[in-house]
Every structure is written in structure tokens, then in C-alpha cells.
A and B are shown apart, each in its own frame.
Chain A
Amino acid sequence: MKRGLMAAVTLSAAVALSVSACGSSNKSSGGGGGTTTLKVVAADYGTGPANSSQKYWQGIVDAFHAQNPNITVNVQTINWNDFDNQVKTMVQNKQYPDVLEGDYFPDYAQAGLLYPANEVLSPSTFSNLLPVFAKLNTYNGTQYGMPFTTSARTLFYNKKLFQQAGITSAPQTWSDIQNDAAKIKSLGKMGFGLPLGSEEAQAEALLWFLGNGGLYQDDSGKWVINSTQNVETMQFLSGLVKSGVTEPNPGTKNRTDLWKQFAQGEVGMINGSPALIPIIQDGGKLKAEDWVSVPIPGKAGPLDKTLGVCDNTSVFKTDTSKKATITKFLDFVYQDKYQLQFDKEYALLPATNSGVRALSSDPTFGPFLKALPNSVQYPNAPVWSQVKTQIQQTIATALTQDPKKVLDAIQQTAEKGS
């Protein structure tokens, strides 16, 4: 008797578990006279609980709810390291959020999962989005991703270490990097921080490819991942790593960790974005005059274009009756007030015209904002999300193996299409 009872209890527990696992798809009462619930999934830009993006979103959501008592918005934030993985799993299991903020996946637009941007934003909010990122977020002539926050990359270097090493000018070429890094290395510090781990390898690699005239995809849409230039670039990086001036085994090191080490004054040079600035300030080791940010060195001279990145909002077609509510919510989110709050909190750049105007005279953000309109961006083909995953996972193996083979394999994935 007892055992049967136990089995019954176990069974019902198991059923309950599996039901709850499948059942969290987000079926809320859409519209009608009752309340509407929206589910927002966003990336967490914070470095810890103190500045978690959950707080930022909760502030917006509470203010929004105060104005619209019959709309409840639930926010879930996911740290960047797990973001792609968790979002992909969510989508594969058809547990779509209403609003997603973070990476934009062009293949979701291709699969018809998303609303076009102009259908879920009021015309004034839509026309306020920075036009430079429109192409990146467009699939088949329709824009699906809505830029939410943007950023541009520059080279940060530690002036104090440069002085100690007797280096007087900013690095401009790859050989400058090689030489300066070696001098810093002899001080017992890390010469160059090279984060080719899975977190952001696709950005770091592209910054180096650009320096040799390489790209992932050229203007005509042809994939050029395994171009001669890119192979050369990986060979140069491989030599740089072997000479010992970078951290050991860059393929296992992520940007967040290396940025922290830069902030502690342990690293001579590293590619960074404005988001590195608050980390430096929090570290308390480097004073404002101890570091500087300059255009990224290329093989023969500094890049005239940098990598402009933007994180996007996209809206899933979960329940048509929610569309009006989502528009209302997004119009609220895209107010200058919240754009600027976000940019100040994480030292990122605004994604709206009015936001850029408000910040253009800011001494920290100004230079980055000027570089933004002329920036290079990631490919917008649907297969990019697979290509990106593979770059993150494998590009660093080109440092220890034949780079041509590694890049060929990625190129093959890109050409196969999604």
C-alpha cells in the first residue's frame, strides 16, 4: 500500500513537473476588458546585482504600470554569457517572449516570428530610431529589429604602463601593438588583452579583420570569412599570442574578465567600448588621466571605420490582441529619459536621434557618437546567427591550428545558408 502510494505521489509529481516545464508558454489573457500581461526578456548589462538591468527595467515597468493599471509587464533578464543559449532554447521550445531586448536574430524574422518594427511602434518613435542601423535589422526589405542601445569600439590603453615602458605615442599599426605589448610584458604585465572566448569572439575577430581590409561579408553580400586577408590576420594574431604578450590561451578568455583586469591596471592595451569606462571607474585603480581611448590600429594604420554594434528590441507575434498594448509599452520605453538613463548606467550609446542629440556634446560620449554613423556592422543574413555561434566556439582554434582550415569551415556554414 505504502509503496503504491509513493509511486502515485512520484508519478503525479513527475507529471506536474513535466506539465509545468511545458506549460510556461506565455498564454495570458490578451486584451479584452481584463488585464494584459506582457513578458519582456532582456539581456543583463550589469556587472553584478547592484547595477543589474533587472532594476532598470523594473523602474520602467513600475512607472508604466502606474499609468496603465490594467497592463502588467513581467521582466526577466539573462546575463550575456547565457543570453544566446537561453533565448535560443526558449524559441526552439516555442516559449516566445512578447518583447526581446538584446541580440537580434535575423533568422527569427525569416521564420516569420516577429512583427515589423513599424507595426509595433508609433510613427514618431519609429522615425526616431537611428537610421544607421536600419539595414542591419532589415530582412527582405522590412525592418524587424529596433535598435535599443548602441556602442562603438576603440582601443583603450593604459598610459601609466606606457610611460613606465618608455613608450611615448599611441599605437597606430599592428607592429606598434607587437612592440609596445612586448615592452609592457617586460614590466610583468599583460601587453595586450585578446578576448577570443565565446562571449564576444565575433566582435574581437572582426576588429582585427578590419585592420587588414577583411570582413565577414562584403557589400555585395558575398561571404569572405576565409579571405586571404583574414587568414593573414589570424596568422598575425597567432604570432602575437605565441610571443607571449597577450594572456595565455585567448580562446578561453572572455571580454568581461579581461576588461576587469584592464581596470585593475594589469593590461597594457585592449579593445573596448564605452562600457569599459564604468568598469575602470569602479575598479578605482586607474584615474581618468591614466588611460585613454584611441582609434583601433590596423595593419598599416589606424582604422577609419570602427565596428558599430547595436542591441535590439524585437517583438514576437505571440497574440495579436496584444499588439496595441506592446506599442504603448515600447513608446513608453523609447522615451529619451529611459534611453539616457540606460546609457549613463552602462556607458552605452543611445539608439534614437533625440537621444544622440541630447548626448552629442558630452565629453565622454561625443567622440563615440561621431564615429557611429560611419561604422561597420555585422552581417544581417539569417544564417548569421549560426555563423556567429560557430565563430564564438571555434575561431580561437585558428591560433593553434591551420587558420585557413578553421575559417574555411566557418565560411562553409555561411554559404550553406540557413
Chain B
Amino acid sequence: MVDTVPVTGVPRESARRARQRSVGRRLRRAATPLLWIGPAIALVGVVVLWPVYEMFRTSFQRFSPNGFFLGSAGWRNFTDLFAEADLRDILVRTVLWVVVVVGITMLISLALAQLFNERFPGRRVARWALIAPWAASVVMTSLIFRWALDPNSGVINVLLHDVGLLKSYGSSQADWLGRPNAAFVWMMVVAIFVSLPFSTYALLAGLQTIPVELYEAARVDGASTWRAYRSITLPLLRPSFLVAALINVINVFNSFPIIWEMTRGGPGHETSTTTVFMFQLKQAYIGESAAMSVLNFALVIIVVLVFLKATRWREQVS
């Protein structure tokens, strides 16, 4: 554009310099945000993108059980994985695990958040106490529950025995973690226990953003408490409810330490979810374990997308 304007040498020179200066300035201006977000991008690259890339790569490679690379595996890791006789049950169990744990957690959290939003003596202490299951290491919590469920001397069994619900120690009935179904239910209980604090706090924060005036207006209009809860609290709580539920879905799906510490996924794979199964495979079949990882990754993404779609996330949260 400049070339079309007939100008003499000197102004032309200065125009060029000005242009250069402005380009430099523009570049610098464009680069400034990069400087701020650069570390974050690098972090995401190093701890998220690169591992994902490695995971996909590994799932198409063959390894000896000692970790030696033996060449490409094509789709064999995936065909081996889908040929695993236990895979179907494990997938069904995983879905059950996520739906039940997140569902019950969210229901109880709604009630707890409501309770903690009311004024009562000792509320501050109670709110602090709620953090405990969250602050404690999950491994520790799981171990405590494992010991509490010991068939001979676990405190839960002692209690059940004392109130007459348990006939004898050491029996199959007392062996909660030995029976796959009972073990799975107990592990769900632990998973709910450790998920409660986060969702309760997320909902509590949501409750505190609801203006008091709305309730006053509802009262003036003669609405019952239940009606006010349904028409004011629940709709306005929706964004925080959805965020809490989504984060829970991801956490619970990936949950490993509870099952590992309480049953190691056994007997066989009868209490494994896909995350635990992935680890069990890794002992001897690294490539297949990576294929399981890829499947897990795909599942999480699908679950999240379905969740976002079903809840019309965009309208609600952003």
C-alpha cells in the first residue's frame, strides 16, 4: 500500500521505520499475554498432552513384561483387551460404580449443604469437621474401613454383633470384603463418604449466592417452604450442582485407591472397575494396559460430553 504512494526518500524511510516500530510493538503486545499464559500452556503440555500422546503410542506397541519395547503391535492390544472374558462385567460394574456413587453423593450433599446453610450453634465447627474425609488421605480412609470390616474383630462387625444383627464372627456374613457384591457396596459407601465434602461445599457456595430477598418475596406470596425450595433454590443451584456433579463423575470414574486398598479388585476381577483393571493388566501386559487406558480415556470423554449435552451446560454455566 505504501508503495503506491509516491513519496520522497526521507519520509518514506521514516514511514518504514515507523511501520517497523509498530510491527515490533504489535508483536510485543501480542506476545505479552503469551508470557503470562505460557507457563500454564507448558504445564498443560507436559502433564496432560504429552502423557496422552504417550498413552496412545504405547497402546499400539508391544512390550515384554519387563518393559522392553518389542515393536509395533498394530491393533493386537485392543483385540486382546476386548477378548478378555471379564471385560464386559468390569464395564457394567464401572457404570454402576459411577452412577450410584455420584447419584447418592449429590443427594446427600444437597441435604447437607442446606443444613450447613442454616444458622445453628456449632455451625463453624461442623463445617470444619466436614472437611475431614476430604483432607484425610483416601488410602488411609480405605484402610480404616478395611480394618473396621475385618470379619473377626472389625469395629463395624463388633457393633453389628452387639446389636444382634451379626450372628457370629468369622462367618461369611461378617466377611463383607470377601463377598464381591457386599464388598462393592461397602466400597461405594467409602467412595460416597470421601466425595461428600467437595460436593457439599460446592453446593453450599451456590446456596450462599441466592439472594435472601427472593425467599422473602416468596413468603409474602404465601409459598410453602417446599415450594420455595423447588422453585427458587433448586433452579438457582443448578449451575453449582452441575459443576459438582461433573467433577464427581470424573473423580469417581478414575477412583483407584479405595478399591485397590480394600479388595485389590479381587477375587479374580470381581470387584474391579476399569481403572483397577488397567493396573492389574499392567503387571504383565503393558501394551494391553495402555489399550485399557485409551478405552478409559474415551469413556471419560464420552461420559462428559453426554453429561454436558444432557444438562444443556452452555446455557446453565457459562
Number of interface residues of A (CB under 8 A): 45
The residues of A that contact B64 with a CB separation of less than 8 Å are: 107, 111, 418
Band of interface residues on B: 35 or more
Q: A219-262 CB contact bits vs B (8 Å, 1 = yes)?
A: 00000000000000000000000001001110111000000010
Closest to A249 in B: B178
Q: Does A396 contact B (CB under 8 A)?
A: yes
Contact B66 A198 (CB under 8 A): no
Question: Would A393 and B266 be within 8 Å (CB), given that A252-B177, A266-B170, A409-B85 are in contact?
Answer: yes
Question: Would A94 and B283 be within 8 Å (CB), given that A14-B47, A252-B266 are in contact?
Answer: no
Contact A396 B267 (CB under 8 A): yes
Question: Would A248 and B172 be within 8 Å (CB), given that A7-B40, A111-B64, A385-B284 are in contact?
Answer: yes
Q: Output the least CB separation between A284 and chain B (Å).
A: 17
Closest to A253 in B: B178
Q: B31-66 CB contact bits vs A (8 Å, 1 = yes)?
A: 000011101101100110000000000000001111
Contact B46 A107 (CB under 8 A): no
The residues of A that contact B110 with a CB separation of less than 8 Å are: none
The residues of A that contact B65 with a CB separation of less than 8 Å are: 88, 92, 107, 385-386, 418
Contact B268 A92 (CB under 8 A): no
Contact A93 B67 (CB under 8 A): yes
The residues of A that contact B172 with a CB separation of less than 8 Å are: 244, 248-249
Q: B152, B170, B284, B286 — which one has the most chain A CB atoms within 10 A of its CB?
A: B284
Contact A11 B42 (CB under 8 A): yes
Q: Does A389 contact B (CB under 8 A)?
A: yes
Count of chain A to chain B residue pairs whose CB atoms are closer than 8 Å in the complex: 106
Contact B67 A91 (CB under 8 A): yes
**How far apart are the CA atoms of A397 and B263 in the complex, in Å?**
14
Contact B85 A3 (CB under 8 A): no
Contact A18 B284 (CB under 8 A): no
Q: Output the least CB separation between A378 and chain B (Å).
A: 16
Q: Does A83 contact B (CB under 8 A)?
A: no
Q: A20-48 CB contact bits vs B (8 Å, 1 = yes)?
A: 00000000000000000000000000000
Q: Does B171 contact A (CB under 8 A)?
A: yes
Contact A4 B66 (CB under 8 A): no
Residues on B facing A (Cβ under 8 Å): 35-37, 39-40, 42-43, 46-47, 63-68, 85, 151-152, 168, 170-172, 175, 177-179, 183, 263-264, 266-270, 280, 282-284, 286
Residues on A facing B (Cβ under 8 Å): 3-4, 7-8, 10-11, 14-15, 18, 84-85, 88, 91-94, 105, 107-108, 111, 113, 188, 190, 197-198, 244, 247-249, 251-253, 261, 266, 385-386, 389-390, 393-394, 396-397, 400, 409, 418
A/B interface sample: 12 pairs, CB < 8 A: A14-B47, A18-B47, A88-B66, A88-B283, A92-B282, A108-B66, A248-B178, A251-B266, A252-B178, A385-B65, A390-B284, A418-B65
In the complex, the 10 A-B pairs of residues with the closest C-beta atoms, listed nearest first: A249-B178, A251-B267, A92-B67, A248-B172, A7-B39, A397-B268, A386-B284, A11-B39, A252-B178, A4-B36
